[in-house]
Structure formats: C-alpha cells, structure tokens
Chains A and B, each alone.
Chain A
Amino acid sequence: MKLKLLVLCLLLSCFSVASAQEGTSPPEDTLLFDSTLLPAPVTNLVAFDTENDHGHAITLEWEISVDDGAGKQSVAMYEVFRWVPDLMTAIPSFRDTLDYLKLRTSSSWSEPEPGSRTDSIHSVFAKLDMAQLEQKKETLERTIGQAIRDLPAAHAAYPENGSWQQVAVAPSGSVTAEDVGTKEKDSPDYLPDYSDFYYRVNAVTADPDIRTPSEIFGPVQSYGQWFNLGRLAVFVFVMIFGFLTIFFVSHARRGADLYVRPLAGIEAVDDAIGRATEMGRPILYVMGLGTADQIATIASFTILGRVAKRVAEYQTKLMVPAYESVVMAVAQEVVKTAYYDAGRPDDYKEDIVFFVTSLQFAYVAAVNGLMLRELPATNVYMGKFFAESLLLAETGAVAGSIQIAGTDEIAQIPFFIVACDYTLIGEELYAASAYLGREPILLGSLKAQDWAKAAVIILVLAGLILANLGVGNDWAWANNIVDFFRVVD
C-alpha cells in the first residue's frame, strides 16, 4: 500500500510544477539554542472530533506551558501542527495544473504574463497539441479524484511520506484551538473525515525561532454528527409546542368550547365589506412587501380568503395589487377558491389579483394612484410592511376609506395606529385567520400558543432567578440549567 502511494505521488509530481507553497510554514524543528531559553512544553495535549458539526474539524486542548504567564514568562503564543502526507500537499499543485489545462483548452486562453505561475506551468506544456492537452486533462482529473480517495490511506501511513504543517495559532494563555477544514473536495482547505490525524503544539517565545514542541497526540479522526446537542433546548421546546398544538387541536375537535378574546380589527372587516357594498365602491386588499415564504404573508392569504368569500357573497368589487410574483400566483388561487366556495365562480376574474411591480416605491405610487382614482370604501393592509406603510395609510385616509391594518413589523405598527381605524398588532395578525374562521382546530392552535407564552414567562422568571443565584453563589446546578437553554452553534 505504502509503495502504491509512493508511486502515485511520483506519478502526480510529473504533472505538478515545482514552486514554493504560498504562506511558508515556520521551521518545524526546534533550533539548537541555549536550552535555558527554551520554554517548557504544553502538557496533556488531547485532540478530538469537534462536537455538533458536520465533520472536517478537530478540537485540541492542552494545559499551558509552565512558562506561560508564570515561570520564565517567555511564551508568546502556541502553534498547532498537524502531520500532513505528501499526497495532500501535492493536490493543490495538481489543481493549478488542471486549471491551466482547462484554460488552455478553452476559448478564453491568452498567453500568460511572463514570470507568473501560469507561465511556469505553460513552459512545461507549451509544445503539446490540443488532443494531447485534452488527454492530459482527463488523466489529471482522474488522478486527482483517486488521490482524494486515497487520503485516508495516506494518513494511515504516518509517519512515512509526510511532514508537519502549521494549521492554527493561539495566543499565550490559550488552552484550546480548532483545526477547521471544509467539506468541499476541490477546496485547498479540504480536510478528509475518517482519516488518522496527528497533532503537536509548539510553545513559541517572542523570538519565533525559540520554540518547544509538545508530545505528539494521535491518531484522531473527524466525523459528522447526527444531532447538534447545542440545540437540544430548541428541540425540546419545538417538541413540546408541537405536542401542545396537536393536543389542543384534537381537544377542540372533540367539541371543547375555547374562548378567544375578540379582535376589534377583525370584527370590523365584515362591517367594512357591508359598507363598501352599500356605497358601491371597491375594497382594496394590500398584502405588503412580504414574500410567500413569510408567515405574515401566509396569514394574509388566509384573511384574504375570508374577505374574498364575503366579497363574492355581497358581489362587491375586490382589488389585490401584488408586489411579488409568487405571492400573486398564490393570491389568485386563494381568491378563485373563495369565489367558488361562495357559489359565485362566474364573478371571479383573473385581474382581481394583479402584479404591479417589485420595486417598493413604484408599488406605493401604483397603489396610491389606485386609491385616489377608484376611491375604495375600505382598505385592508395585512402582511409585511416597511417604509411604505404611512405613505399608503395616509393616502387612504385622504381618500376617505375605512382602513384596517395588521402587521408583525414592529416599526410600522405606530404608523398604522395613527393613520388607520383598526390595527392588528404583531401576533394578532396570525390569530386573525383562526378568529375569522372560528374553526375549532384553528382556535386550538391559538390555545397552544397561549400555553407556550405562559411557559416562556415562567422560564424567563426562572432563568432570571437561577442566573443570579448561579453568579452569586457559584452553584453549578443553577449554571447548568441556564446553560441548557443557551443555544450553541
């Protein structure tokens, strides 16, 4: 096996053009100095796979040198070295050659700058014709693929055919460092999983030539985890919340009477539609600037469905100018279904929901123009709104429309409160769909939300008390509970 790797390395090096590696590593071995100048090495070095990640990273821990912050006080930093097989060091050179061959065989090839790296590679391949270059390219691609597959074996050959390379630096006083690579096989930072890595840490003085290496630690392998324990608290909360939602929904299905606080804004919707019918004027429904993947927009779709159904029953005119094409497509489907449900499919027209523009202020200009020309009896603003909220609502007020707004954009709520007749604040927007439908399963989910809120309040209070107890009294159990709720990435 070792012989095979050696032959592979030799073969590959025919393709690579020798050149200095970028970012030269400091000399790896301790130079001969007066031994009294040498700092004490770090001790108890351990390396292990970094937790809660996708692999390709190793964490190192050690106990600091006795000359770090004490003793001779000579340690300035720590350098982390990993043993790297020659095969791995050679791959970037092969890639440079492959890049050159790709460029050379493409239409955008031009003579390289004299003295550049591409030029030095070019000098080796200049005389080859296109067919030979293509052949070399294919061979090199296959060889690189094979080399990457052979990396675990090359690592297992330690300490043959390899050298120590610096992979991380930590300032004095540090007891840990991380060697993080990437999963991208064609990146220079690629770090293969399930390969035997060996590490050592040098204690380095202010004079970078004076250093003391630690004992070597290895082998250690990196691998990806199937569960991020740092996010356990979120997982537990999502599970409990999901369970509560399902519980209350099934509870409501069995016929339990669930009380929901009345929302004035939603109760006003029916009256506003009636008013529009009496006045013979249209209703304008604005869904804001949100995209279809936002919860506020999804809530707005549901409310639009209810409004459209009522509008279809009263045979009033509805206008829905859309800001985003996906939102438009979904809104058209929502309105169409509402008209069908109301038993008036013939009244449905494709241009009830229409696309205007995806530019914020052009959209404002279009909607404001619509308000002033058509003078709608009622304007409903539900969804995500930004700087345009006041521009729309003030113009609506000038046009004399009844205005009902709802948004979860906190900064825009004051503007709507000032300029509109009714405003749904924050989560009331999400509750509106359940409230409008009065369907038990939707009301059940509102109940689950209330319970979760109660749990959050209790947890906030408990966290406050525990965090303070933990700080003052150094009670590990209090800190542990607080740490459980800390999300680690």
Chain B
Amino acid sequence: MKRQIPVILVGMFGLFMIFQYFVPHESSEWVYEFLLDWTIIIGIFAMALGLWSLYRVSVEKIKTRKPAWGYNYLTLCGLFTMMFFGFTTQNGEAWGWFFPFLVSANLVLVLMIQASVNKGGRGLFLGLAGVFLVACVVIIVFDNTWGFHFETAQGLQSTMFRAFFDHILIPIFATMFSLLAFFIASAAYRAFRARNVMATLLLLAALIVMLRFHPFYGPLTPYIAPFMSKTSNWLMNVPNLAAQRAIIIGVGLGIVATALKVILGIERGYMGKG
C-alpha cells in the first residue's frame, strides 16, 4: 500500500498534466493553476528538510572531530548570520546593539552545539549559553534602533545583507567561476591533440571558432577576418546544429519515454524501487 499510493498519485497527476496540454478549457486551466501552486508550496516546505540535514551533518562532523571540523561552525554561523541579515534592518541611522546581539546569538548557537556534542562540561556550556541568551532577550526588548522585517524586500534592502551580497558573495562566486578559464586552458592543452583525422578536424574547428571572435590580425585583418567569420558561422550553423539536433531529438524522445515510464508506474527508481 505504501508503494501503491504514490504510484497511483503519480499516474493520476501525470496523465492529467498530459491531457491538460491538449485541453485549453477554463476548468482544466483552473486545476492546472491549482496544482502549480501546490508544487511551489511543497518545494518551500522541503527547504526546511535541507536545512535540517545541513545542521545534522555539520553537528555530526563536529561531534566526531572529522578533518577540518571547525569549518562546520563557520557554516552554521554563516547560515544563521545571513538569515538574520535577511530578516532585520535598522530603523533609523544608528545601529545600536545590532552587532552585540548578532555576536551573542551566534555564541548561543555555538555553545548549545558544544553542550550537545561534549559529554564533559555540559553544564558550563549550557550556563554560558543561558547568559548570552538573556543578553539577546534584553537587547531585543530594549533596543529599538533595529527590527525584524519578515519580507524579502525589506531584507534585501537591509544594508548588511546588501553589503555581504555585494562585497563577499559576488567576489567569491565570480572567483569560483573564473577558475573555469584555467581549467579550460589546461583541459584544452591536454585534449586538443591531432591524434587522428577526426581529432585534427576538431582541433581546426576549435581554432577557427576561437579566432573568429577577434579579427585582430594586424595588416592581414581584411583578408583573414571575413574568412574566419564565415567559416565559423558555417561551423556553428551547419555541423554544430546538425549534431546538436540529433542529440536533442534523442534526448527529447528519452525524456518522453522516461516520463511515460514514470507515469505508467514502470519506472519506480525515484521511490527507491527500480
């Protein structure tokens, strides 16, 4: 029964979604919109599962003192801090006790985790956590310079969230992405060898496509640039297009086949049953 109900549900909703594509009537649109709303709601609830998993795995690593376990504290404090920045913002110009609150709250988090993973000294950690918790409560009650705003827009307008986004997240991500240039350089160096006729063709095509972007050949520009441009356009629009279309048609059919298998209950891998 535990297995049959999901299969029936998948089949029912899957078939509805197939037929909905062919039925433009208002009533079918109504059901369709209703289902779309539900999918979003389910997805948002699942986020909580993810956060719980992250917390549990991090605490487990701290507990077992896995290599580089200290970074797990950084992960959890970072998670809490960014969420805090997302929901809070200053009410006027002054910051007041905003940052002492943040530090105290992070300390409460760290000390509570320490208390849960350490057998010895549990009382000390819990006591200290209690002290910082009281400090947090006092700040929340008496400090009016900042407040909680449970709206994304308010959060994103918050100075600290924006500062962290603009000056920490953006550079880190841009750096990670730029690593790709180095890896592509080294991969190209190793892969583009004229080992046989096909590999030589691939190599030549790659060179032409790379060079077409930069008609920068000094005095030879008027002769070479148009040739490179035309050839590379041909390469992109004819052989590239043909190969991609073949893969896309194959992938498209594969998608339809797999979707049908899922809807008909033949493929149950997603439930842990192959």
Closest B-chain residue to A333, C-beta based?
B272
> Which chain B residues lie closer than 8 Å to A418 at the CB level?
187, 190-191
Q: Determine whether B249 belongs to the interface, using a CB cutoff of 8 Å to chain A.
A: yes
Q: Determine whether A231 belongs to the interface, using a CB cutoff of 8 Å to chain B.
A: yes
Closest A-chain residue to B271, C-beta based?
A333
Q: Mark interface residues in A322-363 (1 if CB within 8 Å of B CB, else 0).
A: 101110111001111110000000000011001111111110
The DSSP consensus for interface residues of chain A is helix
Closest B-chain residue to A338, C-beta based?
B272
> Which chain A residues lie closer than 8 Å to B42 at the CB level?
326
Within 8 Å by CB of A302, from B22, B46, B256, B267, lies B267
Q: Mark interface residues in A251-272 (1 if CB within 8 Å of B CB, else 0).
A: 0000000000000000000000
Give Cα A307–Cα B60 distance, bound, in whole angstroms: 25
B250 near A453 with CB under 8 A, answer yes
Would A456 and B249 be within 8 Å (CB), given that A295-B259, A430-B257 are in contact? Answer: yes
B253 near A452 with CB under 8 A, answer yes
Q: Determine whether B201 belongs to the interface, using a CB cutoff of 8 Å to chain A.
A: no
Q: Determine whether A301 belongs to the interface, using a CB cutoff of 8 Å to chain B.
A: yes
Q: Determine whether A394 belongs to the interface, using a CB cutoff of 8 Å to chain B.
A: yes
Would A249 and B183 be within 8 Å (CB), given that A329-B46, A354-B53, A453-B250 are in contact? Answer: no
> Which chain B residues lie closer than 8 Å to A55 at the CB level?
25-26
A430 near B172 with CB under 8 A, answer no
Q: Determine whether B173 belongs to the interface, using a CB cutoff of 8 Å to chain A.
A: yes
B24 near A53 with CB under 8 A, answer yes
Closest B-chain residue to A455, C-beta based?
B253
> Which chain B residues lie closer than 8 Å to A13 at the CB level?
none
> Which chain A residues lie closer than 8 Å to B259 at the CB level?
295
B23 near A227 with CB under 8 A, answer yes
Interface footprint category on B: 35 or more
Give Cα A185–Cα B77 distance, bound, in whole angstroms: 48
A354 near B57 with CB under 8 A, answer yes
Give Cα A369–Cα B24 distance, bound, in whole angstroms: 50
Would A394 and B50 be within 8 Å (CB), given that A426-B247, A445-B261 are in contact? Answer: no
A445 near B257 with CB under 8 A, answer yes
Closest 8 CB pairs of A and B: A302-B269, A325-B50, A337-B272, A427-B254, A361-B176, A355-B53, A430-B254, A355-B50
Q: A: which residues have CB within 8 A of B?
A: 52-55, 183, 193, 224-228, 231, 234-235, 238, 241-242, 245-246, 249, 292-293, 295, 298-299, 301-306, 322, 324-326, 328-330, 333-338, 350-351, 354-362, 364-365, 369, 373, 387, 390-391, 394, 408, 410, 413, 415, 418-419, 425-427, 429-431, 433, 436-437, 439, 441-442, 445-446, 448-449, 452-453, 456
Add 9 more A-B contacts to A238-B18, A337-B271, A360-B173 (CB < 8 A).
A54-B26, A234-B22, A350-B56, A351-B56, A355-B50, A355-B53, A408-B255, A418-B191, A430-B255
Write 14 A-B pairs (CB below 8 A) sorted by A numbering.
Answer: A52-B24, A225-B24, A226-B23, A242-B260, A293-B39, A326-B46, A326-B49, A328-B50, A328-B53, A333-B272, A355-B51, A394-B187, A425-B247, A427-B250
